[in-house]
Structure 1
Amino acid sequence: MESLFHPVGNQHILDRIDKLTPIKLSEWGVMTVSQMLEHCQMPLQVVYGTRQLKVNPLLKFLFGKSIKKQFTSVHPFGKGMPTAKEFKVTHEPHFETAKTQLKELVAKFSREGHDGIKVTDHPLFGKMTYEEIDTAQWKHLDHHLKQFGV
């Protein structure tokens, strides 16, 4: 699996984002391409410490470790994977703005490296290593870029 920390892997994701257009249709799911671009910013904002998530402690206790395992394994996400309600985008974002903002957040991963990551104790998954954070972020971006055929 590639790494967002590594410049080559990071550029690979940026190049795929650049292939998106405002009229690109999803191969599954209900999000528009603009909604997906904004949605993909949210997990990055969590690890950068600019977005807070409130997770029910019981949910974390019951499911946190198993969900973390799914997010940090080498296996790709399934097409029917549910989205956290805090990450659902119900409005229609401006495509170019959402695309530019996502690209900046992705580029920051490589540019700032571990120093850019401010939250390693995930609200649902618990304590995460930098490698686990990298894997989860990569898989999430890869999943949604595949959703839109890039």
Structure 2
Amino acid sequence: MKTVFDQAVRDELIGRINSLNENSTALWGKMNIHQMLKHCILWEEWILGMNNIENKQSFLGKIFGKMALKSTVKDDTPLKKNMPAGRFVIKEAPKDVERQKSVWMERIASYDHYSNPTFVHGFFGKMSIEQIGIFAYKHSDHHLRQFGC
């Protein structure tokens, strides 16, 4: 399975991110290119342990999270369309697509030296490094497919 902890996978994601532009439009969902880029940057920063973003599992996550996580990372099936954005819903975002792409690519490259042992997903709860790698890939892949990349 693809994981962001594999250099070739990070290179693939970075190439796909680089193909986005100001005119990229969503094939599904409500986000525009600016909102998606900002959402993905904030999401990566959360996984990477940047900016002191809270790590706390929700009540429903405590009940259903582990079961949902297992089914999400068990194979290469992409994330479904129109999944909720959770806490990282972006109403307004910076309009500089090239700058936002650059930041997102930097965050993807940061998985080369990942070290966030206290990470707790808001729904899935505590995740293994392997699960984090697979899910982080699937999240980026989901949004890149959303914008045709």
Same-fold status (TM-score > 0.5) = yes
Which residue number in structure 1 is paired with residue 103 of structure 2? 101
TM-score scaled by structure 2? 0.86
- Contact 1:122 1:128 (8 Å CA) reproduced: yes
- What is the match of residue 59 of structure 2? 58
- Aligned counterpart, 1:34: 34
- Please give the secondary structure, in 1, of the residue aligned with 2:28: coil
Matched residue, 1:7: 7
Secondary structure, aligned partner of 2:20: coil
CA–CA distance in 2 between the matches of 1:44 and 1:7? 16
Amino acid at match of 1:100: S
Q: Which residue type is aligned with residue 30 of structure 1? A: K
Q: Which amino acid aligns with 2:111?
A: F
What is the aligned partner in structure 2 of residue 18 from structure 1? 18
Correspondence list, 1:80-119, <5 A: 80-84=82-86, 86-94=87-95, 95-110=97-112, 112=113, 114=114, 116-119=115-118
Residue pair 2:57, 2:124 contacting (<8 A) in 1 also: no
Go from structure 1 to structure 2 and tell me whether the alpha carbon gap of 1:57 and 1:20 turns closer, same or farther (over 3 Å shift): closer
Identity %: 31
Find the counterpart in structure 2 of residue 129 from structure 1: 128
Amino acid at match of 1:77: L
Q: Is the 8 A contact 1:120 1:130 kept in 2?
A: no
Q: Which residue is 2:144 aligned to?
A: 145
- How many residues align structurally? 146
Structure 1 unaligned spans of 5+: none
Q: Which amino acid aligns with 1:58?
A: F
Given the alignment of the two structures, is residue 69 of structure 1 paired with residue 70 of structure 2, yes or no?
A: yes
Do the aligned partners of 2:14 and 2:105 also contact (CA within 8 Å) in 1? yes
**CA–CA distance in structure 2, aligned partners of residues 142 and 83 of structure 1:** 14
Gaps spanning 5+ residues in structure 2: where?
A: none
SS at 2:107 equivalent: helix
RMSD after superposition: 1.9
